[in-house]
Amino acid sequence: MRGSVTDPTPPAGGGRVRGTAVAASAALLLPLLGAAPAPDPVDTGTLQRAFAAAADAHHVPPDVLLAVSYLQSRWNTHGGTPSVLGGYGPLHLTDARAALGAAREHLAAGTEDPRGDSARPGPRPRARVRARSALPARLRTLPRAARLTGIASVELRTDPAANIAGGAALLAEAQHDLGEPLSRNPADWYGAVARFSGADDTATAAAYANDVFDVLRTGEERVTDEGQRVILAARPHLTPRTAQLRLMGLRTLPADGTECPGTVSCVWVPAPYTRLADGDHGNHDLGDRPGTQSIRYIVVHDTEGAWDGVLDLVRDPAYVSWNYTVRSTDGLIAQHVRAKDVAWHSGNWYVNAKSVGIEHEGFLASPDAWYTEAMYRSSARLVRYLARTYGIPLDRQHILGHDNVPGTTAATIPGMHTDPGPYWDWRHYFELLDHPFRRTADGGGGLVTIRPKYASNRPGYTGCAAPGEPCPGHGSGEVRLYTDHDERSAPVRDIGLGRAPTTGVNDLSSRVSTGQQYAVAGRWGDWTAIWYLGREAWFRDPGDAPVAVSASGRVVTPRDGLAGVPVYGRAYPEKEAYPAGMPAQPVEPLPYTVPAGQRYVVGDEVPGEYYSAVAFSDDSHRVVSGTDLYYEIQYGHRVAFVRAADVRSEPSSRLSPAGRVPPGAASAGRTGRR
């Protein structure tokens, strides 16, 4: 998503047109690899005129074309680069063979054991996810648009106006194939919109069309990634002709008792619970959640592979598992493991036992990294449903990326995965969850919530295509950390990784992510320091273009008299809690500490708990609960745990306020705290 002069995310409530234009914003951050060129001033008509011209040329209602494009790309052009599944431009015209032909299909960087249980290691991930040679029609819409319009494929990929014209031609073709007139009334285009989704089943096509018509009813207004203002006026009383769907001859998906909200399309593609040789089993464990243990986390992944190949893997009993997969093109959801059971997905058995894992079709960094609005919306509906069903708080210490899950021991830290990566738009995602990240305190709250503007926040990364090679300029939800209030200082080092920090797209050493909260350690001019990985870490936070907002909450700090306390990757019970005959799991600290005087944000207070599921027969499965309590904290980029007996919990507002101090106002280096 290329740099924009405005915040690309709509305001709370979906960015609906209410007569107020999206406000333009100021400067870009200066990333380690250098700032991207400043975007042009806001263009108030070029892209809007392109929609009008294409709609007129192909006799498609302009509002329908605008709404379809919004659901595909939110009107962004992405500089002509493909989406995670080979879609180009504002209409997300797909040419997956061209986009992915040279792409490396791989599991997200890491060598973790996905089960994450030292009592019984799970299978190792395969080296690659194999792509199917035959591509479905939904991944080949750009060549078809080229045939309909006579516009060259390269132009459809790179020229926004041509791309919009190609999308209009596809909608007109769909309307013609349904035997419907090229009406000016948007209500008459429900069937064509459903067909444009590329779905081959009624439920998915209907879910997509319903989303488009919801956009038509509510309206939208925003400035795109290239500084183009686009407006779609609301039509609150629009009622589409949904009966057209019955004439399309689409198949019906069997629901099979899937655990999904009624507002999405969901299909059951089961992961097998199977006895293997030598008493082993795969690829998940049976459970009785939430009866025997609570579900406290949802873990967001990306598949690092294409839909069909990924579904083949989850059906392999010798492979691993996750609970759901969301398709990029249209938001179709496949469920694989019941919520009551425990999937093997996060690399941390404690987190697996307490979580639901959701994979999203796509790649962290190759071939590019933008996700469709249809996938974001479908995923957000699923997460809202799960959060409501199981009482999961909608915050970044409970809605985790795979990259936020801690290693279980010192040895596992370097191999932990890093998806969904810096290009997942957490800010937009949480707005879709109806829990946007807001300022919750004045400057004396003691905490900050990381909240950069996605499109204009463009830190430099390397390694998307080849090690050390700069990645394309791209919007990001992450902010880089330094050891001093100077971008020429060294980035923060993670001692658990055992290597110097880099700008690699998979190197989490010195990065914070949108929505994460940290205790303020100091201020210096345009810089803010936070407590991170046991030290001060600085990020540039200018007043005219802030990347964080003030917050308040609860923090922990070592109890009086302790120089520091250990940090854990899982909240396991004490040895005495295990019944006779069951081996006690070691409570092994990570190579980190919380030093005296430092404070870390609390996400939860949890009892020590271990789910024993080492045998195939579920009558041997048991949840062991101890009396030791833990606090989940935001420690670095990943969460971690500390024993409640080691720390003191207190409101962050009790911290000494850390005000913004102009450079030179204090003489003692970076001591600008007061």
What pairing do the DSSP bridges indicate for beta strands 274-275 and 281-282?
antiparallel
Task: Please give the CATH topology (third level) of the domain spanning 46-95+140-247.
Answer: Lysozyme (1.10.530)
Q: CA Rg, the chain, in Å?
A: 25
Q: What pLDDT does residue 656 have?
A: 53
Looking up tokens 């998979």 gives 506
Residue 98, pLDDT score: 75
- Given a contact cutoff of 8 angstroms between Cβ atoms, the answer to whether 647 and 594 are in contact is yes
- CA-to-CA distance for 623 and 625, rounded, in angstroms? 6
Q: Where are the domains of the chain?
A: 46-95+140-247, 556-654
Cα gap 101→124, rounded to integer Å = 26
- Number of other residues whose CB lies within 10 A of the CB of residue 470: 15
CA distance 505 to 310: 23
Within the chain, which residues score under 50 in pLDDT? Answer: 1-40, 102-107, 125-132, 657-674
Q: Could you write out the three-class secondary structure of 581-599?
A: CCCCCCCCEEEEEEECCCC
The CB density around residue 389, as the number of other CB atoms within 10 Å, is 14
Paired strand residues for 595:
564
Q: First and final CA of the chain: distance in angstroms?
A: 39
- Look up residue 540 and give its two tokens: 């540039």
HEC states along 321-334? CCCEEECCCCCCEE
The token duo for 533 is 């990985």
> Cα separation of 407 and 569, whole Å?
6
How many other C-beta atoms can be found within 10 angstroms of the C-beta atom of residue 621?
A: 18
Residue 652, both tokens: 């962050």
**What are the strands, taking DSSP E only, across 320-419?**
324-326, 333-335, 342-343, 355-360, 399-401
Cα distances (angstroms) measured from residue 446 to each of 62, 522, 552: 49, 10, 6
How far is the C-alpha of 507 from the C-alpha of 497, rounded, in Å?
9
Contact 300, 420 (CB under 8 A): yes
- Burial call 121-142: b when 16+ CB within 10 Å, e when fewer: ebbebeeebebeeebeebbbbb
Is the bond preceding 367 in cis, omega lying within 30 degrees of 0?
A: yes
Distance CA 489, CA 214 (A): 48
pLDDT at 14: 35
pLDDT tens digit sequence for 572-590: 999 999 999 999 999 999 9
Spatial CA neighbour of 288 closest among 578, 622, 552: 622
The DSSP secondary-structure symbol of 557 reads: E
Which one-letter amino acid corresponds to residue 28?
A: L
Tokens 């009966």 found at = 243
Which structure tokens are listed for 431?
A: 């707005």
Query: What pLDDT was estimated at residue 401?
Result: 98
DSSP, residue by residue, 64-94: HHHHHHHHHHTT--GGG---TTSEETTTTEE
**CA 600 – CA 410 distance, rounded (Å):** 20
- Please name the residue that has the structure tokens 């792409």: 103
